[in-house]
Structure 1
Amino acid sequence: MASTTIAEISRLDLQDLSTPPVASITGVKHLSSYNWIEAPTPTIAVPGSPPLWSAPRFPRQLKKDSGLIYIAQNAARHPDSPLEPLFRALYIANPLFDIRSIDVVTDRNNIRKLLSFINPGSTRNGLETFTINIEVTKNTAIFSREETATHEFIGPHEFRGFGHEFEKVYTTSQISGSTGHHRIISYRFGDLSFIVRHETDGYVDADTRIPSSNSKEPENDSLSSMLGSLSLSPTNRPPNTTPNTTLAGSKLTIKEEGRVVPIGSTLEIKTRVFHKPLKIQEVAPQLWVSQTPKLVRAYHHKGTFQGPEIEDVAAEIRRWEGGNQRDLRKLAALISKILNVVKGCGGNAIVKYDEKRDKLVVRKVDRKKMLPKDLYSKWDDKDNSEAETNTDHDAGAEMCGIERAT
């Protein structure tokens, strides 16, 4: 895959970018969801369901994680088009959804990586080399994460903690054969409209009482209160209402099974050894990008977990957003800058963090389409279904040259 460098962006360059006065997430909506199913061919269940939080009443000794662990399950199970499940699930839940109104479609992971470039201290492990593939159709940019490895195998003599075993014991799968639940939400950030996909560890039953991390916060200002009242897409069908389907030109099999779980019920699970408490600042960027309002911080002593509790951390996440406006304004400006560069250079590029030079490098590339052919018709005008998808950007390719961020 040949590539040409078209832009380089340093951290210092970000000082000169025009930033919005406020960079906050607004207008959060649940769009769809799905589960990956263990099957001989790529198979998802829509809307699926996250596992239900069902903690044992007494302390439990767990075995350490072992075996197959997914790093990027969408790419591992469907390497031909890791983003196809997002779009299939979206249009099952919302057949008339207007994708042309969206500026960026991305995984949560990509936004977190760009934020880690702006502030390397925002991630626990520091800033590491990363690559994001970008394809623009009409006015919509698709960000596809790229990983050196999409999965790993933990051997019997290796130790990687207890996180996966904890989830097996403390949650109950709601979908037979499920290997992971993915959520698809939309919101505005800065001046852009986003669709964000992310994995969800579980959800809490509506009858469960959860202490708020800030009892003094007025309820009508609470993120979790807002999320809990969101209207849901009409996909709350009985399970197995239709047979499995595979669309022409696609290798993905789709089952309609599960039920919609509101965003306000979703939670993130983190496990730690008891003498290394997890600070909210360490997990806030992840929860912020996906607007996940609930958190379980589970501590263990040599693999024995006591009684972990679910926390409503929505108020803390909102406070984190307010206290990190400098970085978030830069994030909004950086994403806008990347979009402008890629759109002006033909609509196909990769963004790579060059660790040696401590810069983001944008390269124009020539590669195959990210999605099956039929999905591109979603960007076409209703009276022109055969329109070319990238003609809006081809004219700008000739003018593309190496530039510095300004």
Structure 2
Amino acid sequence: MSILAKIPFSSLASMPLSPDASITDFRHLASYNWIDSITPTIAVPGSPDKWSPPSGPTRLKKDTGYFYTAQNAARHPDSPLEPLFRALLLTHPSFDLRSIDIVTDRNNLRKLLSFVDPGSAKYGAEDFTIQVEVIGETVVFCRRDAEVMQYIAPNEFRGYGHEFEKAYTTSQVKDSTGHHRIVEYRFGGLKFLVRYEVDGYVSPTGKSDAAPKSWPGSKLKVTLVGKPVPPEQCLEIKTRVAHKPLQMQDVMPQLWVSQTTKLVRACHSRGVFQPPLVEDVTDAMKRWETDHTDKLRKLAAVIAEIAAVAKRSGGPVLVKYSVAGNQLVLSSNDAGKMLPNDLYGKWKLVTEKEEVSPAKTQSMGSDGKGTKTVRKGAASRR
């Protein structure tokens, strides 16, 4: 593994910045739920849990047991990003992946934002690693976590968040263990495809069922279950002790990255929750974006630099940040491919119906089939 580039925090002030620091052209594309099964199984489009709060004050027990911190990697370690593409291409079979500049989980963007703006994270920046692979002209970011699950022992206290969701929402998909969304938008002059998890929704939706689907060479099974839920109905849930309520600036980076406009801030006193409200944070999100223009321009510049280094490297890249060094270190990476082989074909330069001109032939590989060189990368939290 050789070092390709370093991006020290001190260099951000002199980086060329994009004039574009806002998210535009936001569009929800697809969604899925993970299903509790021995075989990796997702339901498309699935559905978030329905917001269905009990009336009056409610006492909850504290969280205990095992919980996912990176469910895609935990349930499908062979290719944590595969469900994103399966759900997307089942929902939009003709979607042109070549139109996308960056594919990533929300978590990666939050980590990179915490690098350029440590104040955006509640506890400041923390060490992290992101794996990067170039497919055609698209740069794919895959989160890599040391642990994909956490265990909360009975004698520990980590709050009431999981128990609150169980008590205040109702599952709409049988055996669901989490709902994930795929959206696209423009930011910093680049087109993004972003995956993230939501906690619930605030309007009813129906259900549908169909036969499962599978692909040769893939262990992932897909069932067609659920009905699409518009993004404006999705919500994020946060729980806090009453004497330390959640401040909007502490959650806004997460909401902004996924453009989630509904928020529940539930407060408790010794485990007793008062009836919470669903807040519309659309205006607050716009103000936050305007107030953080400088930081967001730096975020866009860092993402563009990582993409440029990855494209120049001719191979997959590992992005590592350490608090001690306070810099991003980009190194070559020799891990395996991120995706099943059939998905790489979705980045073909020329379809079978297109006529191959001499100019196009010269731009292809020696086999003349019109596929760009596929770089090898690796697959590995919300």
- Give TM-score, length-normalised by structure 2: 0.92
State the alpha-carbon separation in 2 of the partners of residues 23 and 48 from structure 1: 32
CA–CA distance in structure 2, aligned partners of residues 290 and 102 of structure 1? 17
Match of 1:239 among 197, 208, 213: 208
Deviation at 1:156, TM superposition (A): 1.3
What's the TM-score, normalizing by structure 1? 0.87
Q: Is the 8 A contact 2:131 2:142 kept in 1?
A: yes
What does residue 333 of structure 1 align with?
A: 301
CA-to-partner distance for each residue in 1:267-292, whole Å, 9 max, x for gaps? 00000000001111000000000000
Structure 1 residue runs without a partner (length 5+): 207-235, 395-406
Distance in 2 between residues matched to 1:52 and 1:32, nearest whole Å: 18
Return the alpha-carbon distance in structure 2 between the equivalents of residues 365 and 93 of structure 1. 32
Structure-2 residue corresponding to 1:277: 245
- Structure 1 residue 5, shift from structure 2 partner: 0.4
Runs of 4+ off more than 6 Å: none
1:238 Cα deviation after fit? 5.4
CA distance in 2, matches of 1:356, 1:155: 30
> Matches of residues 110-259 of structure 1 in structure 2 within 5 Å?
110-205=108-203, 239-240=208-209, 242-259=210-227
Matched residue of 1:352: which SS?
strand
Match of 2:97 among 92, 96, 99: 99
2:41 — aligned with what? 43
Q: How many residues align?
A: 361
- Between the aligned partners of 2:20 and 2:83, the Cα distance in structure 1 is 33
1:376–1:389 contact (8 Å) kept in structure 2 = no
Aligned residue for 2:275, secondary structure, equals coil
Secondary structure at 1:13's aligned position in 2?
helix
Query: Cα distance, 1:247 vs. partner?
Result: 1.0
The answer for unaligned runs of 5 or more in structure 2 is 357-367, 377-382
Quote the Cα distance in structure 2 between the aligned partners of 1:146 and 1:279. 29
1:355 paired with 2:317, answer no
Q: Partner letter of residue 361 of structure 1?
A: V
2:212 and 2:201 mapped to 1: Cα distance?
26
Match of 2:343 in 1: 375
* Matched position secondary structure for 2:134: strand
In structure 1, distance between residues paired with 2:333 and 2:270: 49
> Which amino acid letter does the alignment assign opposite residue 193 of structure 1?
K
- Report how far residue 386 of structure 1 moved: 4.8
Query: Is contact 1:76-1:150 (8 Å) kept?
Result: yes
Q: Which residue of 2 aligns with 1:214?
A: none
Report if the CA contact (8 A) 1:189-1:332 is conserved: yes
Match of 1:390 in 2: 373
Partner SS, residue 243 of structure 1: coil
Contact 1:350–1:363, Cα closer than 8 Å, also in 2 = yes
**In structure 1, the residue corresponding to 2:73 is in which secondary structure?**
helix
State which of 25, 47, 67 in structure 2 corresponds to 1:27: 25
Superimposed CA distance per residue, residues 35-83 of structure 1 (whole angstroms, 9 cap, x where no aligned partner) = 0000111000000000010001111100111111100000000000000
Letter in 2 for 1:151: M
Q: 1:237 touches 1:257 (CA, 8 Å); kept in 2?
A: no
Identity %: 54
Q: Which residue of 2 aligns with 1:264?
A: 232
Superposed CA RMSD in Å reads 1.6
8 Å CA contact 1:57–1:307 kept in 2: the answer is yes
Report the alpha carbon displacement of residue 205 of structure 1 after superposing the two structures with TM: 1.4
- Find the aligned partners of 1:252 and 1:386 in 2 and give their Cα distance: 28
Query: Which residue number in structure 1 is paired with residue 257 of structure 2?
Result: 289
1:211-260, Cα deviation, whole Å (9 max, x unpaired): xxxxxxxxxxxxxxxxxxxxxxxxx99511x2112211100010000000
**What is the CA-CA distance between 1:349 and the residue it aligns to?**
0.2
Q: Is the 8 A contact 2:347 2:371 kept in 1?
A: no
3-state SS in 1 of match to 2:244: coil
User: Which residue matches 1:323?
Assistant: 291
Q: Give the AA of the match of 1:45.
A: A
Q: CA deviation at 1:16?
A: 1.8
- Which amino acid in the other structure matches residue 379 of structure 1? W
Distance 1:238 1:309 in 2: 27
SS of match in other structure, 1:41: coil
User: Following the alignment from structure 1 to structure 2, what is the Cα–Cα distance between the partners of residues 347 and 184?
Assistant: 26
> Does the aligned pair in 1 maintain the 2:33–2:43 contact within 8 Å?
yes
